[in-house]
Structure 1
Amino acid sequence: MSDAGDVLEPRELRAWMAFLAAAHLVDHEVERQLKRDGGLSHAEFEVLVKLQDAEGGRMRMSDLAREVMVSKSRLTYQVTQLERAGLVKRTGCESDRRSVWAELTADGAEALAGVRPGHRRVVRETLIDVLTPEEIDVLGDALGRVADRLRGR
C-alpha cells in the first residue's frame, strides 16, 4: 500500500532527477580527469586530500573512513592501492596497538599537486561556472543540510 507521502510531486521529481544526473555527470568528468592526469580514482584522490589536510599528513584509518564516508573495508582497499603506488604508507599507532595510521608520502603529495589544477578546472567548468553566485550559495546551503542530516544516521 502506497502512502501519499511516498509520491514525489513533479517539481520534487524534477529536482531529484536533475540532482542524480548532475552528480553522476560531474563525478564522471572528475574521474576522467583524475585518471588521465594522475592515474587516480576519485575515491583515491579524496583519501590523498584528507591526508594532506590532516595534521602531520596522517590519520587513523577509522577516522579517515569517516572523513571520506566509506566503509572500513572499502577504505582498506583504496589505501592498499595507494600504498602499492607509493603514495601512502601505513604504520602502527604507538599509543593504541589496534589502530593503524595512513600517512601521505612525498610521492603522494607530488601526485596530488599534479592533479589538483586539473581537478579545480573540471569542477569549475562542470559546476561552478554554470551557476550564479546566488545559486552557488543556495546549493551549498541545501546540500550541506542534506549531508548533515545523513551524517546523523
Structure 2
Amino acid sequence: MADALAPEELNTYFALMESVSLLHHAVEQHLRAEGGLSYVQFQLLARLADAPERRLTMTELADGVVYSRSGLTHQAGLLEQAGLVTRGPSPHDQRATLVTITEAGLALVAKVLPGHIEVARRLLFDPLSDADLRSLGEIMTRVRDHMRAQPPRSAATRKRRAPGA
C-alpha cells in the first residue's frame, strides 16, 4: 500500500478539488441558463470554434476534452440534433468521423462566452495577484503536461467482452 499523503499534500489536494468543483458548478449553471449547454457541450463547441476549418475528428475531440468515446458520441449527437454541429466521414481517413461546428453553433459560443469569461474571472482570477496568476499558470501547466504525458484515453485499447457476455 502506498504511503498516506502528508498533511500539506492532503490540504492542497482538497483545496484544489473543492476549488475545481465550485468553479465547475458555477460555469455549468451559467452555461445551462444562458445557452442550454452542459460544460462538455460547451467544451466541444469551443474547441471546434477554435479549430482550423472549424472541424476536428471525434478522436481529436475526445483527447482534447478528456471524455469517454461513448459519452462524446452521445454529446455530439445531441449537438447535431440541435443544429450546432454536423458529423460526417473524413475524406482522408474512412475510419474517422469529422465534426464541424455550424453557424448556429458559432453564434451560441459567441452568446455564452462573455458570461463564461465573467464567471471564470470573478471566481478564479479576481483573488489572484499578477504574480499569483503567473505562478498558478506555471504550476498547473506543469501538472497538466505531466498528466498528459500518459497515452490519451482514445489511444487505449478497448476491452473486449467475452462471447456471450
- Scaled by the length of structure 1, what TM-score is found? 0.94
* 2:99 paired residue number: 102
* 2:161 paired residue number: none
Alpha-carbon shift at residue 134 of structure 1 (Å) = 1.1
> For residues 95 and 151 of structure 1, what CA distance do their matches in structure 2 show?
26
Q: Aligned runs of 1:2-151 on 2, under 5 Å?
A: 2-3=1-2, 6-151=3-148
For 1:12, the aligned partner's letter is E
Percent identity of equivalent pairs: 38
Moved more, 113-122 or 128-137: 128-137
Q: Which has the higher helix share?
A: 1
SS of match in other structure, 1:48: helix
Encode CA deviations 1:112-137: one digit per residue, 9 max, x unaligned: 00000000000001100011111111
Report the number of matched residues.
150
Moved more, 141-150 or 104-113: 141-150
Structure 1 spans left out of the alignment, 5+ residues: none
- Scaled by the length of structure 2, what TM-score is found? 0.87
For 1:152, the aligned partner's letter is A
